[in-house]
Structure 1
Amino acid sequence: MTTAAPAPPVLVTHVCRVGELHEDAGAVGVTAIDKRPVDGPVQVGTYGVRGDVQADRKHHGGPEKALYAVDQAEADHWAGQLGAPVPPGGFGENLRLAGLAVDDAEIGERWRIGDVVEVEVTGPRTPCATFGRWLRQERWVRRYTEHGRPGAYLRVRTPGPVRAGDAVTVTHRPGHGVTVARWFTHHDPADAQALRTHASDAGWEMAEYLRPHVERAARPQTVR
């Protein structure tokens, strides 16, 4: 009788925050997408990693996008496509995780990081033109979008210290089946209704950046 190999641990491999602001051709004129790993424990709170900033605060940051998480498997995928490693923070992420398929998390799912911190998955990252300019790859935004696994934004429900090596545990999965990747690739009316029902029945606080897309998708479609 063979014994199944134990599942690999789910860990934070790197915690990242802005290393340097860079000039950018977009409307803001500057970008904080250059995230780099930090040593030792760092506090995370309502607005994310202490010492981190967002240049375009209309579209990035805030309590509902306090942290951006990417898993190592996706970084490895893109390293193969790009022909070069994707360093921690290379996609502008605050958390690089290993052993957890971030894009398969359900919207509203909660994780405990280390002993104290609890975060909630609020929705997918929408790749923007700044991201494309940062990577300097032709058709980058389209390529990243078509792959359909953009990583997830997180709300910090319980603040505290986070460090590389911290274990990550899924503490709550809503059960509606609408994952980050599923919603990102197709705003299905049934999925929109499932999110609305979860918000109504469970008292879940849907992210405001997500709400208009959910409401639009949930409207009855007019047949012409």
Structure 2
Amino acid sequence: MSLVESLCRVHSLLPDPGSVGVTGIDKRPVEGPVRFGEYGLYADVQADRKYHGGLSKAVYAYASEDAEHWAGLLGREIGYGLFGENVRTRGVDVSGAVIGERWMLGAQVVLEVTCPRTPCATFGRRMGERGWVRRFAAEGRPGAYLRVVTAGEVRAGDAVRVIDRPDHGVSVASWFALRRSADAAALLAAHESGRHPLVPEMLDSLAVALASNR
């Protein structure tokens, strides 16, 4: 069974030497039902709104299976929220999800996969692992950002069901790693047909991929 294993939101904004001065990657599990609105979990915060959060990246999901992979490589526990995720899943291929795929969490909330997470220097400092950004990217397990299609409440233990999957077949992980021109063309065709509109961040990355492959 695919399920929500944990729900996390910011505990506190921590000092960070980057340009923003603080980081919101201090995410920790919360008990009971949690309300999801268009900007994600109620009471959650993103410090750098230019690259995180907003309507297109309202929720960040990461799979427990991928977290366990990292735990084995690093020799340390990857606790809930350590990667800055809002939703830790079990039985969901988060990085393998197709861009535009829709999930139902529990009985109310519908989320749509929008784009992969790109690791940043703030994430690297938070982890304290040598060469972390490069290592995280190289493993091809980025996790997925999602937008909120239908608001409502979710609690840990609720089921996760895939209720719609685009037929273009381009996954979060494949786009993150390869950005092939054929995949860009398939995504753009789905967008232009109106079947599976892409968020602005994905349209920008498509334009870059298509330009670089000319």
Normalised by the length of structure 1, the TM-score is 0.93
8 Å CA contact retained: 1:67, 1:153: yes
Moved over 3 A (4+): 219-222
Q: How does 1:139-218 map to 2 (within 5 A)?
A: 139-218=131-210
**1:220 Cα shift?**
7.7
The residue number in structure 1 matching 2:78 is: 86
Tell me the amino acid that sits aligned with residue 161 of structure 2.
T
Output the amino acid matched with 1:55. A
CA distance in 2, matches of 1:183, 1:168: 23
Cα distance in 1 for partners of 2:199, 2:137 equals: 21
TM-superposition CA deviations, 1:90-127 (whole Å, max 9, x none): 10000000001101100000000000100000010000
Q: How many residues align?
A: 214
**Distance change (3 Å), C-alpha of 1:16 and 1:220:** closer
Two-structure CA RMSD over aligned residues (Å): 1.0
Structure 2, unmatched stretches of 5+, are none
- The alpha carbon displacement at 1:80 in A equals 0.6
Aligned mates of 1:24, 1:221 — CA distance in 2: 37
Partner of 1:10: 2
Cα distance in 1 for residues equivalent to 2:193 and 2:205: 20
Q: TM-score, normalised by structure 2?
A: 0.98
Match of 1:106 in 2: 98
Considering only CA atoms, is the larger Rg found in Structure 1 or Structure 2?
Answer: 1
2:190 touches 2:197 (CA, 8 Å); kept in 1?
Answer: no
1:51-108 CA deviation, whole Å, 9 max, x = no partner?
0000100111001000000000000001111111100001000000000110110000
CA contact (8 A) 1:10 1:167 kept: yes
Map 1:119-130; keep pairs closer than 5 Å.
119-130=111-122
